[in-house]
Chain A
């Protein structure tokens, strides 16, 4: 077992300076060291996307990088994008449109979709489906996930509109 190495990273706005085994995956760090269990692990080949988080504002699969690679970075997880009473438009959209069933893929879906909406506030259905290709859902057939993202996109535009007015 290799010696633990020190890392410092900010997760959901809180700075953590810790020592980790070099082989600790970022997802493992989030789940086991910080008890942020909203980020899930659904596969071991970087296909399912259940572990998607934001690293310095970009969606990454947290099973595909080591915690040490996130040293100095800022990580946002599903727990950090909104909470009951102050839901992110995507969280609201998934709830309104029944965009989830078992809920296991949901955090990763929301984080991937959030990345999409940051870059493309008004995506077409095809763009949404394309952007979510890296996330598996076995329950919803993606039907209501697409509608949830469309709902959130509408919300964000309304908010932007309201801010402009």
Chain B
């Protein structure tokens, strides 16, 4: 019997190229005759373009062409659409190059095409754009206020949408019954995703055939093909190939279809040379879609015994200047539906207003809506516990949905299909030594030392998504996934998947599952992804969907292969198909191991196929389009311990324990890696990262000098555990893990900091908990204390 690969901590097969510097990222590709693009970007948050004088730039030797918004509009290039529509959504055209008005710092007003990147960047300086500068607005609540600056004429009052979920009357009724109402005002601040590989695009155009090829940093090349081909540029699918080679991290920011992709494609045809653009990091900050940016008022209605009754949430979601690909879905269906968490709320009502501002567009960033929801729920539940004098663990245990109660219908649309929350929490508490640490915390406080313990018992809905459901909610496309499994005559198994790996190790984990399904050596399995010319249509990787959806499609395709292989073996053995079994990598007559054919023999004969009966097709390949029946619902408990230096305000993570339940684990190395990275990003939001627009609408945190990325010494070694509750509805019971760490850790760390600051009377403060902010509240408390004494 071949060794089972599922569950094995196999070293990654993609690693040899990365550790030797032979990966193939978009910017690594150079083609003959290639020229370079550089963008002229608006330095103003809001302005009318009065005129553009590009004569000096054009005169620079080496400059080939200069494109403006009018050139693109004149050539019939359409604005970039959003992919998700809400009822009565107000949309303003998002042009690849703005023809008339710029709406955020970094908005593109012209593009230079030149022989070298340096010349293109030199020429940017010579383009003379005359602007009529307008007033601007960068904060969501300011944009909604009466008399605010109007960003787009299409959206009066800057309101893009006004959305609610849940039963308002039922929620009011629960609030009327409550012993206590706990209210929090929360700011979930704006983040920049910051994949370390900057975005890059290389467009090639072939006059013969009128064909385009775009190499680009994408998590989902088919989404790019649909958007660019069908909507923006009107290129038939068979004439537009999108290739996304090795991608250096995405975290959501490489889902979206960006202006620069349209510009290089357009330019490649215009100048009849391949055109490459690679973002400078300073451009990434003002052009990659940002994440989060919510202002929320949340109220919980509770009983004195800790019973949670109802939750009322009012959120202003800053969408930035334009609606990017998934923007309308993130603060609505990926947020409002998650506000139930792991608890038995009797009623929930959420009201979300999506608002335009003169800032970079906001869209999905690792977790996308779910971290924001988890932050609201987990912060308020911990606050309720504190105000009732309960332990934050006890209030959670009291209100958890119980295993016997699944499937569980929440008040906010989702039906959880499975879950078992207490064992995960108990395992985490045990790992941390929770009770002892609480005692130590009390002891330390007496000595003027402050640690805090933060609890987060999160749940997420991922594995996007049942197509009919998301379609009914406004998605303009289904979110099924495709797989094509093709067995070559030599027995090599080529797996073509619509999922896209940009760090998640699909080449390894997917091969493990295929090896088990087909009972072949794992090294005989080769994964192909990221190229629309080679793959059946697929939807890519985001929303923790690659394992539950992509790998389910592959599994089903493998099962079709096995069925077909049995038929071939039956023919070769002159047996009936019903008598065949697949054992130890062989197709044999049941109970007669001597009468068998190996996988290799079957694969070879599938291709030679010169003596087949009429009802048996030659070849050995299968395609499956898998559409999940429901989301999957991973959950777990994260416990953060922070230490606050009362003299300096310096707040540091000192321990982190997490127990996640993502169902059966294909490769524990990869799953734990996803948790590590996710936790670092969530911790980064809580303690370090912030995106700051100043009063004049300028982004003043636009480089790594100002935007504080987590570094090696900001993190600790994580203490990780797992429980396993399989998803009941996909073939392997898989659930996603890509976003869980980020979803849970921001709230866990925030709860820890607030817990640490309890002796200073701090009930809530907004992230990020920088030394300065923490010192300010400690200092204020000490001054007040001194005044009382």
Contacts and interface: CB of A to CB of B under 8 A. Distances in A.
Contact of B503 (A101, A125, A133, A146): A101
A79 to B, nearest CB: 5
B694 to A, nearest CB: 19
Main SS at interface, chain B: loop
A107 B17 CA distance: 11
B246 interface: yes
A100 B669 CA distance: 11
A143 B718 contact: yes
B346 interface: no
A83 B22 CA distance: 10
Contacts of A84: 16, 20
B677 A141 contact: yes
B717 interface: yes
A36 B20 CA distance: 11
Contacts of B715: 129, 141-143
Contact of B673 (A35, A39, A101, A125): A101
Contact of B197 (A44, A94, A102, A128): A102
Interface stretch (B42-50, B510-518, B701-709): B701-709
Contact of B14 (A79, A103, A107): A103
A42 B680 contact: no
Name which of A136, A143, A145 has the most chain B CB atoms within 10 A of its CB. A143
Interface string B143-168: 00000000000000000000000000
Interface residues of B, number: 58
Contact of A35 (B15, B30, B718): B30
Interface string B262-289: 0000000000000000001110000000
Contacts of A137: 196, 712
Interface stretch (A3-11, A45-53, A67-75, A157-165): A45-53
A112 to B, nearest CB: 10
Interface string B220-238: 0000000000000000000
Interface in B693-737: 703-705, 709-713, 715, 717-718
B12 interface: yes
Contacts of B79: none
Interface string A88-120: 000100111010111111110010000000000
Chain A interface residue number, banded: 35 or more
Contacts of A32: 30
B712 A128 contact: yes
B282 A100 contact: no
Contacts of A31: 28
A30 to B, nearest CB: 10
A90 B193 CA distance: 28
B680 A142 contact: yes
Contacts of B22: 38, 79
A103 B673 contact: no
Contacts of A35: 30
A37 interface: yes
A122 B18 CA distance: 25
Contacts of B19: 78, 87, 91, 94-95, 100, 103, 106, 110
Interface string B1-36: 000000000011011111111110101101000000
A39 B249 CA distance: 16
B704 A95 contact: no
Interface in B655-672: 669-670, 672
Contacts of A105: 196, 248
A39 B25 CA distance: 11
B196 A102 contact: yes
Nearest to A106: B18
Interface string B246-262: 11110100000000000
A110 B61 CA distance: 40
Q: Name which of B20, B673, B677, B704 has the most chain A CB atoms within 10 A of its CB.
A: B20
Given A104-B197, A106-B19, A141 B713 contact: no
B189 interface: no
B676 A44 contact: no
Contact of A126 (B27, B504, B713): B713
A60 interface: no
B90 to A, nearest CB: 34
Given A95-B16, A144-B676, A102 B21 contact: no
B246 A139 contact: no
Contact of B21 (A39, A42, A139): A39
Interface centre among B19, B248, B673, B711 (most CB of A within 10 A): B19
A82 B670 CA distance: 24
A26 interface: no
A10 to B, nearest CB: 17
A40 B248 contact: yes
Interface in B316-369: none
Contact of B281 (A39, A44, A106, A107): A44
Interface centre among B17, B23, B196 (most CB of A within 10 A): B196
B542 to A, nearest CB: 15
Given A98-B669, A144-B673, A50 B196 contact: yes
B712 A132 contact: yes
Contact of B11 (A43, A48, A95): A95
Nearest to A147: B717
B673 A98 contact: yes
B251 A77 contact: no
B194 interface: yes
B470 to A, nearest CB: 27
Given A43-B281, A45-B705, A98 B503 contact: no
15 contacts: A43-B281, A47-B709, A83-B20, A98-B11, A98-B670, A101-B249, A104-B249, A129-B711, A133-B712, A136-B196, A137-B196, A138-B194, A141-B680, A144-B673, A146-B712
What 5 A-B pairs have minimum CB-CB distances, sorted nearest first? A38-B21, A104-B248, A103-B18, A102-B503, A141-B680
Given A101-B503, A141-B676, 11 more contacts: A1-B61, A42-B196, A79-B22, A83-B20, A98-B12, A101-B505, A102-B195, A102-B503, A126-B713, A133-B712, A144-B676
Interface of B: 11-12, 14-23, 25, 27-28, 30, 61, 118-119, 194-198, 246-249, 251, 280-282, 502-505, 669-670, 672-673, 676-681, 703-705, 709-713, 715, 717-718, 741
